[in-house]
Amino acid sequence: MKKWIVLHIIFLFLSFPIQVFGQQDVPILIYHSIDEFHGHGSKELYVTPENFEKQMNYLKEHGYTMLTFERWNDLKKVNKPVFITIDDGYQNNENVFTIFQKLKDSRFQPTATLFIISDFIDRPNRLSGLQLKTMAQSGFFSIQSHTATHPDLTKVTNYEYELKDSKQKIEQVTGKPVIAVSYPFGSFNDQVINETKKYYQFGLTTTPVIFSKKGIENENYLLPRIYIKNSTTIKNFEKIIEK
């Protein structure tokens, strides 16, 4: 009888996903423009729609689950979690919408987080309020904050405007909660973190490593992200997310 009990316990242990018992590596990827490069700005911040689709299809074919920060608590409940984040709110982010619609099926639900500069909504080359509302309601996107004016937060004093007012404006536009902010230029310090905690549940940096929960203080306000660039090949992409 005792032998049977021991074997049963071993079987149950082996039935649980390994990630429940060990550290879990979660790629949080950062993009900006999803478009062909036409000579304006930094070429490396442009990922062509063709390459972006290849990368998203890689995630689909290799069993990844794309999450947004509203589902942070699902990290250990899903297979191979990954976050797609896109900063600045350029018009060309609509290409993501088209690609997601193409790739979605009964097994794969693509999602991404758009970090929007609230004062830039409706500007030329930026997403409009109507576009953002439509994207938020589509189920493909979470619309979050990239501050009000995109300053280096370590050099400002008007945190309430940059953080609180930005959050409120985006919520008014989309009708959805704003719970995360990406720090412009990836810049932060202790004061920035303390101010961010007043209004948000998550703060994102550009520290280029894979996220692995360590239980450190303010961990959710120090979330790292890895750039996907114009020069990132599909082999590079595979190496990044399979680390």
Give me the amino acid identity at 131: Q
Distance CA 162, CA 148 (A): 5
Question: β-strand 226-227 against 112-116: which pairing, if any?
Answer: unpaired
Q: Helices (H), strands (E): how many in the chain?
A: 9, 12
User: Token pair for residue 139?
Assistant: 């189920």
Q: What is the pTM of this model?
A: 0.90
Mean confidence (pLDDT) of the chain: 92
User: Token pair for residue 230?
Assistant: 């114009």
Distance CA 181, CA 200 (A): 7
Distance CA 91, CA 164 (A): 24
Contact 214, 18 (CB under 8 A): no
Bridge partner list, 211: 26
Distance CA 213, CA 227 (A): 20
H or E segment at 41? none
Average pLDDT estimate for 103-118 = 98
Cβ atoms within 10 Å, residue 8: 10
Distance CA 60, CA 57 (A): 5
Question: 175-230 pLDDT, tens per residue?
Answer: 999 999 999 999 999 999 999 999 999 999 999 999 999 999 999 999 999 999 99
Nearest to 27 by CA among 187, 209, 216, 221: 209
Domains along the chain?
26-241 (3.20.20.370)
Question: 58-91 pLDDT, tens per residue?
Answer: 999 999 999 999 999 999 999 999 999 999 999 9
Average pLDDT estimate for 25-31 = 97
